[in-house]
Amino acid sequence: MGTEKTGQADSPITGGAALGGPTITGVRTVLIDVPLGQRTITDSQSSVDSVEFVQVMIETDAGITGYGFNWNYTKGMRAVQVMIDDCYGPAAVGQPALARQALMDAMHATTHFIGRVGVARVGLCAMNLALWDIQLKLEEQPLWRHLGPAKERVQAYNTDGGWLTWSTDELIADMQRIIDRGFDAVKMKLGRPDPRDDFERVRAVRRAIGDTIKLMVDVNTVWDLKTAMVWGRRLEAFDIEWLEEPLHPFDVRAHAALAQALDLPIAVGETIYTLQGFRDYVDQRAVDIMQADVTKLSGIEEWLDVAALGRAAGLSVIPHTNVQHNVHAQLAAATANTPMVECCYESLFDIWENPISVVDGYYTLPDAPGVGGKLTDRVLERYRIG
Ligand SMILES: [Mg+2]
């Protein structure tokens, strides 16, 4: 799939000549579906055995190709591919590759009427990452060095031991395995049909892992406000680091009511797609931990805007992360108010070219130039579906 053209297209972008740098000559996409190398993962709203990715490649007349991506743990990425092939690619070809913010506006203008959140937004992010990748390759810098690090290592917390359908014994055994590997922060899923089950599982896990390990819980949006009020209050007995996505993510008012009623910190962000969405949460004091995800926002600039919003409000940003750890670890390294990054789906760590890893509970930072968004050629060939 893709768009190719040569020569300068008509465009509202000005300043290309003064800016210099390469011109975009083509935009290509590949759709893949990669099986998880671990058993089916479940939370209160999803069951996952494979992950779909769109890999976008922005080609330039300098011979540099920028790689971006987006992903989903169910089907549907074909729709994102269409957004890129039909809307963003044609808007980008012929334009100066370094005019990133003007290009983002021009691309957004092609889908704003049907997609300010969701499918169109995540396609825009894939383009944004690929544009950053071009600049960083020109500079021969990894993202975190370009931004200027705030810290030399990034703590990881682990979600791979807490899935909803695991028995309590399996849950405890997996948590223990993770802790033995050097993690000192773990998350488990809530949202079973009877909240008493959730309560008992949290109690059992806290007893098993002791008091010094950070424990987070994630409802994945399925509680109503009353359930969250009652069971959130009871969970406070277990020294929980945060209660994640207790309610519908667009219901800022309900989160505000909950945040005011509970001492337990509230975390949201993996399904907030805009800076304004986060601003409303902050304004209404409805969030304590902002889980900004670059692959749900429109890209790196907007993620940094959200992080700055958090800093101004005295809040931590702890990015929601399944497969986008290559980018998030670099963003966190360059952001002072980002104490941790999630670690999950470790069976997919090696699908990336220049993969980063977690050692003793901390992410390594890459030396390779770019954003870290290129899947290996082997993965792109083997799992291609479109
Ligand atoms: Mg979550």
Lowest-confidence range among 12-16, 35-39, 168-172, 203-207? 12-16
Cα–Cα separations (whole angstroms), residue 343 to 4, 61, 195, 304: 37, 37, 26, 20
Rounded to an integer, the average pLDDT of 369-375 is: 98
**Tell me, what's the pLDDT at 159?**
94
The rounded distance, in Å, linking the Cα atoms of 85 and 149 is 35
CA 218 to the chain's CA centroid = 16
Q: Residue 188 Cα, ligand 1 centroid: separation in angstroms? A: 10
Q: Residue 164 Cα, ligand 1 centroid: separation in angstroms? A: 12
Q: Which residue has tokens 């980063």? A: 356
Parts of the chain belonging to CATH 3.30.390.10:
2-139
Fold for 2-139, please state it. Answer: Enolase-like; domain 1 (3.30.390)
**Tell me, what's the pLDDT at 6?**
45
**Tell me, what's the pLDDT at 15?**
55
Rounded to an integer, the average pLDDT of 37-56 is: 92
**Tell me, what's the pLDDT at 9?**
47
The rounded distance, in Å, linking the Cα atoms of 121 and 128 is 10
The rounded distance, in Å, linking the Cα atoms of 154 and 26 is 35
Q: Residue 5 Cα, ligand 1 centroid: separation in angstroms? A: 41
Q: Which residues contact 344 (CB under 8 A, 6 or more apart)?
A: 158, 159, 160, 321, 322
Q: Residue 243 Cα, ligand 1 centroid: separation in angstroms? A: 10
The rounded distance, in Å, linking the Cα atoms of 248 and 255 is 9
Q: Which residues contact 245 (CB under 8 A, 6 or more apart)?
A: 218, 219, 220, 221, 267, 268, 270, 271
Q: Residue 97 Cα, ligand 1 centroid: separation in angstroms? A: 34
Q: Residue 321 Cα, ligand 1 centroid: separation in angstroms? A: 9
Q: Residue 111 Cα, ligand 1 centroid: separation in angstroms? A: 27
> pLDDT tens, 63-104?
999 999 999 998 999 999 999 999 999 999 999 999 999 999
Which of the listed CATH numbers 3.20.20.120, 2.60.40.1260, 3.60.20.10, 3.20.20.10 matches domain 145-368? 3.20.20.120
What's the distance, Cα to Cα, between the start and end of the chain in Å? Answer: 8
Q: Residue 114 Cα, ligand 1 centroid: separation in angstroms? A: 26
Contact present, 64 and 138 (Cβ < 8 Å): yes
> pLDDT tens, 252-282?
999 999 999 999 999 999 999 999 999 999 9
Q: Residue 218 Cα, ligand 1 centroid: separation in angstroms? A: 6
Q: Residue 136 Cα, ligand 1 centroid: separation in angstroms? A: 30
Q: Residue 241 Cα, ligand 1 centroid: separation in angstroms? A: 14
Rounded to an integer, the average pLDDT of 19-45 is: 93
Q: What is the largest CA-CA distance in the chain?
A: 66
What phi, psi does 118 have (nearest 5°)? 75, -135
Q: Residue 220 Cα, ligand 1 centroid: separation in angstroms? A: 6
pTM: 0.95
Q: Residue 246 Cα, ligand 1 centroid: separation in angstroms? A: 10
92: burial class by Cβ within 10 Å (0-12, 13-18, 19+)? Answer: buried
**Tell me, what's the pLDDT at 8?**
46
Copy the structure tokens of residue 238.
């277990």
Tell me what percent of the residues of the chain surpass a pLDDT of 70.
96
Copy the structure tokens of residue 152.
């030399």
Q: Residue 361 Cα, ligand 1 centroid: separation in angstroms? A: 19
What phi, psi does 229 have (nearest 5°)? -65, -50
**Tell me, what's the pLDDT at 384?**
98
Q: Residue 322 Cα, ligand 1 centroid: separation in angstroms? A: 9
Find, among 273, 266, 231, the residue nearest to 245 by Cα. Answer: 266
Contact present, 355 and 345 (Cβ < 8 Å): no
Find, among 44, 23, 42, the residue nearest to 92 by Cα. Answer: 23
Give the three-state DSSP class for 155: strand
**Tell me, what's the pLDDT at 243?**
98
The pLDDT-based confidence of 19 (bands split at 50, 70, 90) is: confident
Q: Residue 295 Cα, ligand 1 centroid: separation in angstroms? A: 14
Q: Residue 107 Cα, ligand 1 centroid: separation in angstroms? A: 29
What phi, psi does 222 have (nearest 5°)? -95, -5
Q: What is the CA radius of gyration of the chain?
A: 21
Q: Residue 160 Cα, ligand 1 centroid: separation in angstroms? A: 12
Q: Residue 253 Cα, ligand 1 centroid: separation in angstroms? A: 20
> pLDDT tens, 120-134?
999 999 999 999 999
List beta partners, residue 323: none
The pLDDT-based confidence of 3 (bands split at 50, 70, 90) is: low
Tell me how long the chain is: 386
**Tell me, what's the pLDDT at 7?**
42
**Tell me, what's the pLDDT at 41?**
86
Kindly write down the DSSP assignment for every residue of 97-141, as one continuous string.
Answer: TT-HHHHHHHHHTTTTTT-SSTHHHHHHHHHHHHHHHHHHHHHT-
The rounded distance, in Å, linking the Cα atoms of 71 and 323 is 8
Q: Residue 208 Cα, ligand 1 centroid: separation in angstroms? A: 23
Parts of the chain belonging to CATH 3.20.20.120:
145-368
Find, among 358, 354, 357, 346, the residue nearest to 376 by Cα. Answer: 354
**Tell me, what's the pLDDT at 318?**
98
Q: Which residue has tokens 């990015």? A: 319
Statement: residue 11 has pLDDT above 70: no
The rounded distance, in Å, linking the Cα atoms of 291 and 206 is 23
List beta partners, residue 218: 189, 244
The rounded distance, in Å, linking the Cα atoms of 248 and 225 is 9
Q: Residue 129 Cα, ligand 1 centroid: separation in angstroms? A: 23
**Tell me, what's the pLDDT at 12?**
55
**Tell me, what's the pLDDT at 4?**
62
Rounded to an integer, the average pLDDT of 191-217 is: 97
